Structure 1
Amino acid sequence: MRTRTTACLSTRTTLLGLLTAGALLASAGCAQQDDSAPVSAKPRTVQDVAGCAKGWTDPADLAPDRDPARCDKGAPAPQPLTKRKKLTIVAGTLSAEYVAPLVVAAEKGEFEKENLDVTLKVLPTPDALPLLAKGEIDAQWAAPEAAVMNGVNGGFDIKWVSGNFSPDPASKSGLWVRLKKGESADHVPMAGRRMGTMIGKGSVIAYPMDTALKKHGGGLDKIQFQQLGSADVLTALQNGGVDSAWLLDPVWRKVDGDPSYAFLGGQPLGEPLGGLLFGPSLLHDDVDAGVALLRAYIRTVNTYFAGDYKKDPAFVDELAKLLKTDQAVLKSTPSLRMDWEIRGGTTDRLQDAYRAAGVSEGDPVPEKKAVDRSLYEEAVGHQG
């Protein structure tokens, strides 16, 4: 058993040049604090958790074939709060597969087991960030995008506290290019080409996108972006409107196997790029509720998403109904590798990509200011 202190995030007053977070920061009412002021926090005791002997992996392990942390089915066991707590979690969508653990946790009563009254709402990231920073919502299922990192740099009291997923090795969601005569998939000169994507340069996908481009003589600073609607990306690639495109599940299935196209790379294996973001209400005001929320989420992963969950036809049928999606579409892509942990250095690599894309301002945000692993570590009893 050990005792750990959860430190309060100190804030700064500079609110200039925050891109998409820009005008929103002024409305966030960030409290000004002196960085040198003493920080007071209630010591927290971390105890072993039954069934979670393998519930933690070293964040420094970036091996693509790394097995994600797992507890036994049903673990960590519920530890209901003494007083019922109402929480609001927002997400950009509640129908995407990567949000499934939250939706299933609500459906299966995993939050209720912790004495949490959780409301899931749909709200775009730019609208949610200032509300999260002010504590008007408790958590956000999102990612440390450029707007988030710029917000943290400007004073938002927000931290990334858990991961979400990494792709299956068989997945080809990512960068696809239409090959020119004489080109092969081994090397496709990407500099100067036009890329179609529904995701802006400030998305976490900028990181794997930049990595894939650099392997082929490109980079985010060497290509032309054309932002398109979700229904237009594939069409533009096929009719020559763009040379390459970032294709998501299950759209890439439309070109997979066609020798006219090549897959150049996707999200790094074994490295989640999103998950839960907490604001001050769970980082400081009620840490017990924050740990309880993560405990319910982690238990849901271990119980329903521990392995290849799409091998269970009954569960796929149930999941399709919960996500309001077609069962055939859900089955057409490999299971995601659900993963609540955050790898070391991910926010540094993300910020490198944001700078290359020209969507980051100010000094880089150090990982300790953007990431807090202590809550999920407490939920699984990690005492290292």
Structure 2
Amino acid sequence: MRRRAVLAVALVLGMALAGCGGGSTGTDNGAGDTTVDVGVVQLPIFAPLYVADAKGYFRDAGLTVNIQNVKSGQDAIPLAASGKLDAVLAGFSAGMFSAIQSGLDVRVVGSMGVADADTENPASALIVAKPLVDDGTIRSVADLKGHKIGALGGAGATSAFYVGMALEEAGLTIKDVQFVQLNSPDIPTGLKTGGIDAAFVSAPFWSQAVADGIATKIWTTPEGTSGTGILYGGEFAKTPVAQKFFDALARGARDLQGDARYSDENLKIIGDATGQTPEQVKSVPLYAWLPNLAPLPDQLAAMERMWMQVGALEYDTPIPQQQYVDTTFADHVAR
């Protein structure tokens, strides 16, 4: 049943993008360049793509890159598996693992935004309704047991995985809380009205809730943690173009190291790509990026394990990582 459902999604989405042209799988376009079709969720967390495109790094590599905005990685995975897209930059979810387990041929080849060392002003945080902190009901993450936690995407999304990380550090499991699906802008209201007791949410929503006296920050993701990444279609991953595309992406990531991510040039590039002004981009903490955009197999394994525990996956035997994780592109990034 699940396999038929995933293939049906692939058919519908493939038809929707039929007019946009199929993926290149490394095919020469007749002018000495190659074309790569990339699906991306239009967010600053995928800045290396926008920087590499705006600064001509793909052109320098002899590539023509077509960037297509997608709603989510889960929507785009069937397109990559069928060759309608060559690469996808998006967040990880339980749906990704279910799609791979059903037989869709995609590879996780890299990471995107990772948490940096700033725990005072992080890009995302776990927050608790302030009245529950003030009356002593919740003093630490360990006190979240049995409480309702708001999470964008619900139990099968990256937000829930991050909550699971916090819970495991406190000796609990992801099954010890109840997840409530809420869009990020609705989380402060949910905390204020008592609809949820805590939430994992990105800036500016967590910081605004704290500034307004609605919530208290109690945990942030450890440095180097990432909930997003780069996926290749299986056929595209076999082509020489795949390494060239990855090298150019990593070149963009190297331009975003440390405070350089907040340079005027980079802020403008990110703003232009995401429909924001440079000031708006700068007002929200940016993630960091690994210089070689290496994938994080251990974290992917932890995601799969937790989503199994919470019932977001319908299988109980982990997928062998050699089936869907490929570190060779990051290992061979051109220097």
TM-score, scaled relative to structure 2: 0.82
Q: For 1:167-199, what per-residue CA distance to the aligned partner results, in whole angstroms no more than 9, with x for missing partners?
A: 122216122111421246445511221122222
| Distance change (3 Å), C-alpha of 1:310 and 1:159 | closer
Alignment correspondent of 1:342: 295
Could you say which residue in structure 1 is the equivalent of 2:34? 85
Is 1:163–2:127 an aligned residue pair? Answer: no
Amino acid at match of 1:169: A
Q: What secondary structure does 1:226 align onto? A: strand
The one-letter amino acid paired with 1:111 is: F
Deviates more, 1:237-246 or 1:317-326: 317-326
CA distance in 2, matches of 1:143, 1:172: 15
Structure 1 residue 305: deviation in Å? 0.3
Q: How many residues align?
A: 307
Counterpart of 2:109, as a letter, is V
* Residue 332 of structure 1, CA deviation: 2.9
1:300 pairs with 2:256? no
Paired-residue identity, %: 24
Q: Name the one with the larger helix percent.
A: 2
Secondary structure, aligned partner of 2:296: coil
Judge conservation of contact 2:146–2:176 (CA < 8 Å) in 1: yes
Deviation of residue 253 (structure 1)?
Answer: 1.4
The equivalences for 1:92-131 within 5 A come to 93-94=41-42, 96-124=43-71, 125-131=73-79
Q: What amino acid is the match of 1:332?
A: S
Equivalent-residue separation in structure 2 for 1:260 and 1:26 (angstroms): 43
Worse overlay, 121-130 or 97-106? 121-130
- Residue 324 of structure 1: aligned partner: 275
Question: Where do 1:228-377 residues align within 5 Å?
Answer: 228-256=182-210, 261-284=215-238, 287-302=239-254, 304-339=255-290, 340-362=293-315, 363-377=317-331
RMSD: 2.6
Q: In structure 2, what residue type is equivalent to 1:379?
A: V
The CA distance in 2 between the partners of 1:197 and 1:263, in whole Å, is 15
Specify the alignment match of 2:5 in structure 1: 23
- Contact between 2:113 and 2:226, CA under 8 Å: does it hold in 1? yes
CA distance in 1, matches of 2:54, 2:141: 47
Give the distance between the partners of 2:294 and 2:285, measured in 1 at CA.
Answer: 20
Deviation at 1:151, TM superposition (A): 1.7
Deviation at 1:217, TM superposition (A): 6.3
Q: Point out the structure with max Rg over C-alpha.
A: 1
- Is the CA contact 1:165–1:336 (under 8 Å) kept in the aligned structure 2? yes
In 1, Cα distance between the equivalents of 2:326 and 2:264?
36
The 8 Å contact of residues 128 and 197 in structure 2, kept in 1 or not, is answered as yes
CA contact (8 A) 2:152 2:159 kept: no
State how far apart, in whole Å, the 2-side matches of 1:338 and 1:143 are: 14
1:293 Cα deviation from its structure 2 partner: 0.3
Amino acid at match of 1:336: Y
Alpha-carbon distance, 1:207 to partner: 2.3
What is the Cα deviation at residue 296 of structure 1? 0.6
Among 213, 224, 232, the alignment partner of 2:178 is 224
Aligned to 1:7: none
Q: 1:184 and 1:26 mapped to 2: Cα distance?
A: 45
Give the counterpart letter for 1:176 in structure 2.
I
Structure 1's 288 and 152: CA in aligned 2 closer, same or farther, altered over 3 A?
same
What are the within-5 Å matches in structure 2 for residues 126-141 of structure 1?
A: 126-141=74-89
Q: Which amino acid aligns with 1:145?
A: S
8 A Cα contact 2:127 2:216, kept in partner: yes
* Deviations 1:124-173, CA, capped at 9 Å, x for gaps: 33332222111121011024421221222221111100111211222161
Aligned to 1:53: none
Moved more, 163-172 or 313-322: 313-322
Judging changes above 3 Å, is the alpha-carbon distance between structure 1 residues 229 and 270 closer, same or farther for their aligned structure 2 residues?
A: closer
Q: Residue 146 in 1 paired to residue 94 in 2? A: yes
Contact 1:89 1:121 in 2 (8 A): yes
What is residue 24 of structure 2 aligned with on the other side?
Answer: none
> 2:25 maps to what in 1?
none
| C-alpha contact 1:173 1:266 (8 A) present in aligned 2 | yes
Are the counterparts in 1 of residues 110 and 330 from structure 2 also a CA contact under 8 Å? yes
Q: 1:307, 1:191 → 2: CA distance?
A: 37
Write the distance in 2 (CA, Å) between the matches of 1:301 and 1:101: 5
Higher relative contact order (CA 8 A, sep 6+): 1
